Structure 1
């Protein structure tokens, strides 16, 4: 057939005239409604596609069949699933038409019925019908200049609906919605398991759209199913593992070692202000305990667990939490050196030697030899009669020991702490206010107060006694302090019961029973309470004191009251000694 303007002119059969079409549509209004819908739909399609593609599509299936079907064919009655007659108007046509035309006619009207259901409920109907038309077009891939075959007899035309892409047989109108639901379910399943609905073997159309639903069956990808299964198992397994870990950490017993540890010592330093949780983390990092939570639990279970002090503890690796808590609640196990208030230097030296495992006398030799290089203030050591220039300058407090600690480093630290505290209290400026000659005498008075008193109230009254006895108007003791603690210091002893006559006869610059005024230097290392009491005396006029029972100190203003208390004290001592 010749081509006009690039389009092939298909033969039209004259026997199928327009009158047949009108009669058929008048008898069957449902097809007329469908025709109107289809014409409207095709009008939209013609606006969307180029002219060269639009004119290649076959005409409306119903109109084409109307042109092909001979007039006068009887109508056929069709029964739906309920037994009711569904008049399609095809019974007569199928009865009179040749066999092959009857088959094709049933397929044509089946496609029309299916199209009516799909176009009514599916938003993609326009694209699908375009794809169907393109797939069913037998001339789409043909040579445009080749001669097209012509039917063997009048009225025969190419069968456009005998391909696998044709619509399936029609269903009754009451069940057409089921096709949409099934198709939607198939599409959803293919989309999830088949990579978005494009299964193996599916090819997109020339315009990027998928071919019609009646095309080649999709094949679900086995690899996609496997990947989906692996992802699901991974998510469930991972969630279960993390859930188990969380529940175990939240409600299960904390990980812990057993026993007192292995033979591998480690020094662990607990800083000031550390809570049990921080202590546990420090011990875990040092390899002492298995978990911080186990240490916290053990400390809470121990009555002394919350009294653990900061400092350095000699521990072992892989200890049970309970064993670590037991060591850290024992003050003797703490790797620290504690200087008590009023402690003499000789006692401090011995303690340093023991803690650092040095030979006896090591620290004392260093102190006497290096005294000028340990950081003493300029107003110290102003009397050549001083027995120990560091006396009164080893500030009482706790000192943490490390593996790098040495006698010299500890002595420097103690002297620095004392010097800083004395500067903070303003010792230099208050010496003259108190009637003393120099700041060193303030420290000396504080050392006497700390040695004779028992508490802060005693300290204030005791400092008042010292200042009153130093007055030039003192005609009772003739400016002698007469403290037993000075005699004991000179003798390097700590005795309560000694012969007073012998004490007064013992000549030594530090023996205040024998000499007037203050000793050359401090007799110990005073604490903060003694220092503040020395700087702020009681001003009660006290001159004497005695501890009758060894616990409570009684102060008096007159010598007679003092003699009565002394007699009572001596009587108690005789009863105590059995005499």
Structure 2
């Protein structure tokens, strides 16, 4: 036994030696004068070749690792040189530099690290013997209770020495770790499935070289390869791009179309023909209450104009453009909007069916037959058989002595009677207009005021006024003559009207010279020379002036009237004044 140990061996290193304390990657060094294996003071080092209890050594190694900070452990490892020759790990004292062995022995060379990983100190073994596994004899319960790497708070297990000096970016990360600093992988179908950009750093799950040099995905080791469906993702990617492109292109086309139409409507000239059209004429009927685009659409459908906007534009530019009345117009086909408007404003273009004031129904029927190219008497027959279905008012009289129940209800106005239409359509339109105009007048109040039998007789008075008068002033005086002669106390004419117009009506004539014998002896109900009071019904279709005059007659006491020249009517109040004018009239007519 030597002075420094129990058996032959190398002398320990001196504490001042630069390599003092480099015992491999081990725990903290013992303090000066203390042993690494306990708290006992020991002035001589342990024999490095002495057999130690593996359990004790391992237990002390764990305690030293737990007491020494991780940074100090790492720093000690980085300062440890790489030995070229294999050597055993030895327990060294904590102080002094290596001293020369008084017996001339050198410390045995430490074995070269062969690629294995020794995370802690190994127990000293006899020279030439195989090292023993310190964990092989450790009880399982103790290993589970004192494992410093099995808790979340512990530092991660130390890396093998071969990987510690490698660059951080080259160290392999566990596939289950999550790195918050690493960019996350896109998961949207639009972005996944595309080829990885060149130079991208491998991500978790990328292919990495295996130990044998082959490449495999990390997910192949524990799950499915995320690149296994690359072909399908690329296909979906292409479809998505195509759909997006189509949507964008369609949206652009739609916006362009809407914008073009808006520009054309607001700023572009509307489609239009040029000139006054072809020689082909067409009859166009404009209903009552039609304005602007209503008229323009009718003209467009008839082929007169090319677009409604062209006509409306011309109508807005013309000061008289909105004065077009309902009626029938003869126009040319393919006219410009301005030309069509000018022709419609010209009365010569109007082809409306016009009923003058005071016209009798018999004349209206004949004109409708002629306009519609019908057999004579066709419209008169329809009027007689379909009178009740044409819309007569409730107060219309159904006296059997009436010659025509529609007399007085074909209101004087202009009507569209286009070729190809039916006679009853025209008649119904006229009756409707009459009802509309009569509703504006208080005929019932007038009938009560002058002791008449309802609106029907007021309409009859208006028809007589229309037939006998010439002017608006004549109408009011003529209405007063009628009401004065109908008075019960009228002893001058004994309530007889004695109107030649009524006698001409029953004979469908218009004569001035009437034989007194004939007029005094004809018993027809419409002969006011024979019968007192009003005739059974109207003798024509009065206009608005005659109607208003019947509602508001004069009150000057007029009883008689006569026209000497057919242009002016003279009114008188007494029989003598009337007889002097009557004698003058006979002298002018040569009646003597």
TM-score by length of 1: 0.52
CA distance in 2: counterparts of 1:514 and 1:428, whole angstroms:
28
Q: CA RMSD in A?
A: 5.6
Aligned to 1:518: 534
> Superposition pairs for residues 132-147 of structure 1, below 5 Å?
134=169, 137=170
* 1:249–1:438 Cα change, 3 Å: closer
Is 1:507 the counterpart of 2:522 in the alignment? yes
Aligned to 1:342: 358
CA distance in 2: counterparts of 1:300 and 1:12, whole angstroms:
98
CA distance in 2: counterparts of 1:55 and 1:269, whole angstroms:
103
Aligned to 2:11: none
* 1:261–1:383 Cα change, 3 Å: same
DSSP-derived class of the 1:518 partner: coil
* 1:229–1:380 Cα change, 3 Å: closer
Is 1:305 the counterpart of 2:321 in the alignment? yes
Shift of 1:464: 1.0
CA distance in 1: counterparts of 2:480 and 2:248, whole angstroms:
87
Is 1:206 the counterpart of 2:203 in the alignment? yes
CA distance in 2: counterparts of 1:332 and 1:513, whole angstroms:
44
Shift of 1:227: 13
Contact 2:443-2:454 at 8 Å conserved across structures: no
Aligned to 2:555: 539
Is 1:470 the counterpart of 2:467 in the alignment? no
Contact 2:327-2:353 at 8 Å conserved across structures: no
Aligned to 2:399: 382
Aligned to 2:54: none
Is 1:322 the counterpart of 2:315 in the alignment? no
Aligned to 1:352: 368
CA distance in 1: counterparts of 2:547 and 2:487, whole angstroms:
20
* 1:358–1:232 Cα change, 3 Å: closer
Shift of 1:343: 1.7
CA distance in 1: counterparts of 2:276 and 2:158, whole angstroms:
92
Shift of 1:517: 3.6
Aligned to 2:46: none
Contact 2:505-2:539 at 8 Å conserved across structures: yes
Contact 1:381-1:389 at 8 Å conserved across structures: yes
CA distance in 1: counterparts of 2:464 and 2:508, whole angstroms:
15
* 1:351–1:233 Cα change, 3 Å: same
Aligned to 1:82: none
Deviations, residues 63-115 of structure 1 (Å, cap 9, x unaligned): x9xxxxxxxxxxxxxxxxxxxxxxxxxxxxxxxxxxxxxxxxxxxxxxxxxxx
* 1:237–1:433 Cα change, 3 Å: closer
Is 1:443 the counterpart of 2:443 in the alignment? no
Deviations, residues 398-445 of structure 1 (Å, cap 9, x unaligned): 444478842234434544665676677565675454233565433321
Contact 2:395-2:455 at 8 Å conserved across structures: no
Deviations, residues 232-286 of structure 1 (Å, cap 9, x unaligned): 9999998888766655543443210235657998776645444324433454466
Shift of 1:344: 0.5
The answer for unaligned runs of 5 or more in structure 1 is 16-49, 65-131, 143-193, 209-222, 575-579
CA distance in 2: counterparts of 1:2 and 1:569, whole angstroms:
157
CA distance in 2: counterparts of 1:467 and 1:517, whole angstroms:
10
CA distance in 2: counterparts of 1:532 and 1:301, whole angstroms:
38
Contact 1:503-1:513 at 8 Å conserved across structures: no
Is 1:498 the counterpart of 2:513 in the alignment? yes
* 1:475–1:202 Cα change, 3 Å: farther
Is 1:407 the counterpart of 2:423 in the alignment? yes
CA distance in 1: counterparts of 2:377 and 2:338, whole angstroms:
38
Contact 1:545-1:556 at 8 Å conserved across structures: yes
Shift of 1:563: 5.8
Contact 2:372-2:420 at 8 Å conserved across structures: no
TM-score by length of 2: 0.51
Is 1:275 the counterpart of 2:341 in the alignment? no
> Superposition pairs for residues 209-248 of structure 1, below 5 Å?
246-248=262-264
* 1:331–1:570 Cα change, 3 Å: farther
Aligned to 2:379: 363
Aligned to 1:12: 78
> Superposition pairs for residues 10-409 of structure 1, below 5 Å?
12=78, 134=169, 137=170, 200-201=197-198, 203=200, 206=203, 246-258=262-274, 270=286, 272-284=288-300, 288-300=304-316, 304-311=320-327, 318-330=334-346, 336-371=352-387, 377=394, 380-384=397-401, 386-401=402-417, 405-409=421-425
Contact 1:487-1:503 at 8 Å conserved across structures: no
* 1:293–1:379 Cα change, 3 Å: closer
Q: Where is the helix percentage greater, Structure 1 or Structure 2?
A: 1
CA distance in 2: counterparts of 1:375 and 1:240, whole angstroms:
54
Shift of 1:486: 2.5
Count residues in correspondence: 400
Contact 1:267-1:313 at 8 Å conserved across structures: yes
CA distance in 2: counterparts of 1:243 and 1:274, whole angstroms:
31
Deviations, residues 332-355 of structure 1 (Å, cap 9, x unaligned): 655654433322111211232233
* 1:557–1:403 Cα change, 3 Å: same
The answer for unaligned runs of 5 or more in structure 2 is 1-23, 27-60, 63-69, 82-153, 176-190, 206-237
Contact 2:395-2:454 at 8 Å conserved across structures: no
DSSP-derived class of the 1:493 partner: coil
CA distance in 1: counterparts of 2:538 and 2:243, whole angstroms:
86
* 1:55–1:206 Cα change, 3 Å: farther
* 1:506–1:366 Cα change, 3 Å: farther
Shift of 1:309: 1.7
